[in-house]
């Protein structure tokens, strides 16, 4: 077929695809027609993605050092909220 070279969204480089998809997402949010995930939906979607990545073998496996660093970083970020930390302190050992 003459003139039937690489055409369409699928033949574009990944950066261009992301740029176009981003514009579509932004427009949908501005218009109010974008899907907003509830915390439960987001948790479920993330869990499915993680399970699929592990089954496929493409998930990142943390080393002990990486896990320790990630935990430390999360703890430091969490402890920046003084009101939250005070509430935890008031709870003491109660659950």
List the domain boundaries for the chain. 60-95
Tokens of 63: 């080393």
What's the predicted TM-score (pTM) here? 0.38
- pLDDT tens per residue, range 48-58: 998 999 899 88
End-to-end CA distance of the chain: 71
What distance separates the 2 farthest-apart alpha carbons in the chain?
Answer: 76
Tokens of 3: 């003139």
Mean per-residue pLDDT, 37-41:
92
Q: How many residues does the chain have?
A: 95
- pLDDT tens per residue, range 73-89: 998 988 888 898 888 88
Asked whether 69 and 63 are in contact (CB, 8 A), the reply is: no
Mean per-residue pLDDT, 6-19:
90
């Amino acid at each position: 077929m003459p003139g039937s070279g690489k055409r369409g969204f699928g033949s574009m480089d990944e950066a261009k695809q992301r740029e176009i998809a981003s514009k579509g997402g932004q427009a949908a949010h501005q218009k109010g027609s974008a899907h907003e995930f509830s915390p439960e939906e987001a948790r479920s979607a993330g869990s499915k993605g993680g399970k699929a990545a592990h089954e496929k073998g493409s998930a990142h496996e943390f080393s002990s050092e990486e896990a320790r660093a990630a935990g430390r970083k999360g703890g430091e970020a969490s402890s920046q909220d003084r009101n939250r930390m005070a509430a935890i302190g008031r709870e003491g050992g109660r659950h």
